[in-house]
Amino acid sequence: MISRRTFAALATGVALVPGLALAQGAPAPFDNPGQVDIALVRYLSTGDFFQAYLSGVEKQAAALGVNLQVFDSRQDAALQADMVDQAIALGVDGIIIQHGLTESMQEAAQRAVDAGIKVVAFDVNVENPAIPQVEQSDAALAQLALDQAIADHGTEWVAGFVHVAGIAPLDRRAAVWEAVKTANPGIEEVAMFGTLDNPIANSVANQARSVLSANPNIQVMFAPYDEFAKGVKIAVDEAGMTGQVSIYSADVSTADIQLMREPGSAWKATAATNPAVVGEVSVRTLALLLAGEDPGAQVIVPPTLITQAMLNDADIKNMEELGAKLPAFAHADVAMAPWMTLPPR
Amino acid sequence: MTPPSITDLAIRYGFLVLMAGLIIVFSMLRPAFLSPQSAVFILQSVAITGILALGVTATLVVDGFDLSIGAVATSALMLSAYVMVIWEMGAVAAVVLCLLMGAGVGLINGLLIVKMRVPDLLATLGMMFLLVGLQRIPTQGNSISTGMVLPDGSAAEGTFAPGFLMLGRHRIDFVIEDLVPLSVVFLIVIAVLTWVFLELTRHGRVMYAIGSNAQAAALAGINVGRYRIAAYMISGVMASIGGILLAARLGRGDVASGNNLLLDSVAAALIGFAVLGAARPNAFGTAIGALFVGILLQGLTMLNAPYYTQDFIKGAVLVVALVFTFALSGRVGRARA
């Protein structure tokens, strides 16, 4: 991750000298961004993805020169709604709602809109036409990874699928898997398993070991969440089946890059959006709204396919190098305006 | 002497019979279930929770409870990763520091409970939250892995030492080549040592005496406080061993709360009450309890049962085990735990 300390220093500097980091001719209220207050109201915060998302939000807010306040409800849906009310009471200009439950957030989001506050939602549908949705396209993620599996193995293979039903992004990824199976009858799913027991990788490894010993003919494991893929890889290595099973997944982290690059690693490819970029896009979408421009009802951050070969060829060791060497991963050209300052790379 | 009644037999051997029945059913449905690899794998899947459960057993014996074990285990996971990846020290340093951390946490738990008179559940609950937060402070909530960018902008160069990874990954040749993982050896050794300590040594019997009546034990001249502190230290050290094995298997410092580790290991220890009709915490029962849960989960996964049915069945087994312990055995068990 980019140094938080450097960033904090940068943010303070920007706050002290309002307008310093500004491009010329920004529309109101960004002609005086030191007066703009935005709030990030989070539902999920633990883990690398959410940490990176936050750093993206912080960096883009600093680049625009606006003041950011972070509310973290730690998976408490009722508290998250209260925090929106708290932000309204504080008189912020804009709110980003990061995850949450439709049922609990819908009314709180409406209250914010009624109070004249601009609201953006990331990965939660608050069913409000005034609130644009920022999304990483789960369907595109799954499709990219499965296209690669088909490119590598053709359309006839025995598959294991890791899935936990009832988790919205995972359900959207599973829908693509079902569609791909229907379109390719040669793909035979012999096992479906999965758990979110913490630590997830360890619990999934235990399950995957059982599955591999019950179905030693599995050629492809589709594990559309990196913690799942990590668990499957541990099991494949432990079962001594590294050479014959290929893992395709979604999401990426520094640790994942290391695992994919182990010699002969079974983890062949993953499709991912950069969580930091998603964070930046969330802030830019809110900025467009605040400046009176229309970002559209849906802002989709496109994913990137990352294969083992790409990582090895470019000698990529961590997320920073991934961003530097795969430009598509470092920046998404969505929710942009000429007057916006992007975070320094 | 009258021959034992059916009820007595059911209480004594019911659980073991149930376990044998499960093994038979699963192997008929899935022949792969009965292979030696599968058997070893079940042991491997319960090694970490089993070791934690044996630690909980030590505190249950002295009528205590340790809610912090899951957090101690994940703290050891993060600490070992930090020592090797960021400080670039070796396997020995990582293991020693983790064990010291576990013993230290156990000591603080024990002192809070014995000297400060904080109720055990509350003291260890506080410690659990403290550790879950503390383990994330050094990395600002990020997981630790080689190549991660440090606050000064450089990338972490340290790697998990091969000797350390061996603890979780190396396999010993036993009849079949590469069969038994080291973590299973640790589980068996620790289970035997705990059993010997609790059942055969004077110290173990003293701990049971404290558990059934602390006041009587004190009047008999036993230093009750010291034994209770020792029990929490045993629990802390066991939990840190579990964390070390977890780190060695995962090969990275994973941010995790460890709540599932806590719940699974407490379940194993409680199921253990019912084994052989013991109706009290015991090392053999705990090991069987852990194994029972492991067999169930392995079999159900092979049958493609989703995770929620597995949770449901785990809960049902626990409830049945508690009924065995508290109702059928006729003895009044401890009201809590």
Whether residue A191 lies within 8 A of chain B, CB to CB, comes out as yes
Confirm or reject CATH 3.40.50.2000 for domain A4-136+274-302, answering yes or no.
Answer: no
> Given pLDDT bands bounded at 50, 70 and 90, which one contains residue B89?
very high
* Closest Cα in chain B to A231: B250
**Which among A198, A210, A253 has CB closest to B256?**
A198
Domain spans of chain B, in order of start? 7-328
Closest residue in A to B33 (Cα) is A214
pLDDT tens-digit map of A246-296: 999 999 988 899 999 999 999 999 999 998 999 999 999 999 999 999 999
- CB–CB of A213 and B151 under 8 A? no
pLDDT at residue B185 is higher than 60 = yes
pLDDT at B335 over 50: no
The CA-based dihedral angle spanning residues B214, B218, B221, B225, taken in that order and rounded to the nearest 10 degrees = 90
Half-sphere exposure of A161 (CA within 13 A, CB side): 25
Cβ distance of B147 and A206 shorter than 8 Å:
no
Give residue limits of the domains in chain A: 4-136+274-302, 138-272
Q: In what order do the strands lie in the sheet with A220-223?
A: A187-193, A157-162, A220-223, A246-250, A267-272, A304-307
Chain A residues with CB-CB distance to B44 below 8 A: 206, 209, 238
Confidence band, pLDDT 50/70/90 cuts, at residue A26: confident
In chain B, which residue ranges form alpha helices assigned H by DSSP? 6-29, 36-61, 69-81, 91-114, 120-134, 162-169, 182-200, 202-212, 214-219, 224-250, 259-274, 283-302, 307-323
What is the nearest CA distance from B19 to chain A, expressed in angstroms?
Answer: 18
Contact yes or no for A230 and B250 at CB 8 A: yes
Look at residue A17 and tell me whether its pLDDT is greater than 60: no
For residue B1, the model assigns a pLDDT of 54
Strand-pair partners of A95: A39, A119
- Phi, psi angle pair for B143, to nearest 5°: -70, 160
End-to-end, the C-alpha distance of chain A in Å comes to 12
CA separation for the pair B108, B119 (Å, rounded): 13
CA atoms of B245 and A247, how far apart (whole Å): 24
A-chain residues near B143 (CB < 8 A):
47-48, 253, 255
Query: Are B249 and A211 within 8 A, CB to CB?
Result: no
Give the Cα separation of A228 and B239 in Å (integer): 25
A138-272 is classed in which CATH architecture? Answer: 3-Layer(aba) Sandwich (3.40)
Interface test with B, best of A190, A238, A256, A322 (most B CBs within 10 A): A238
Percent of chain B exceeding pLDDT 90 equals: 56
- The whole-number average pLDDT for the span A216-243 is 94
- Tell me, what's the pLDDT at A62? 95
Does any CB of chain B come closer than 8 Å to the CB of residue A201? yes
CA distance A58 to A73: 18
| pTM of the complete model | 0.79
Dist CA A307 CA B53 (whole Å): 41
DSSP state of A341: P
Residue A11 pLDDT level (bands cut at 50, 70, 90): very low
Q: Among A14-18, A331-335, B240-244, B261-265, whose mean pLDDT is lowest?
A: A14-18
Give the CATH number of domain B7-328: 1.10.3470
Specify whether the CB–CB gap between A246 and A221 falls below 8 A.
yes
- At residue A24, the pLDDT reads 57
Size of interface A-B (CB pairs under 8 A): 132
- Residue B137: CB atoms within 10 A of its CB come to 9
Domains A4-136+274-302 and A138-272 equal at CATH topology level = yes
Contact A48 B298 (CB under 8 A): no
CB contacts, 8 Å: A230 with chain B: 250
Residues of B in contact with A317 (CB under 8 A): 147, 155
Report yes or no for ipTM above 0.90.
no
Q: Is A45 helix (H, G, I), strand (E, B) or coil?
A: coil
Tell me the percentage of chain A whose pLDDT exceeds 70: 93
Q: Which helix (H) or strand (E) holds B178?
A: strand B176-181
Task: State how far the Cα of B159 lies from the Cα of A258, in Å rounded to an integer.
Answer: 11
Q: What is the distance in angstroms between the Cα of A146 and the nearest Cα belonging to chain B?
A: 22
Cα torsion through A92, A97, A100, A103, rounded to 10: 70
- Say what percent of chain A tops pLDDT 90: 65
Q: Which helix (H) or strand (E) holds A190?
A: strand A187-193
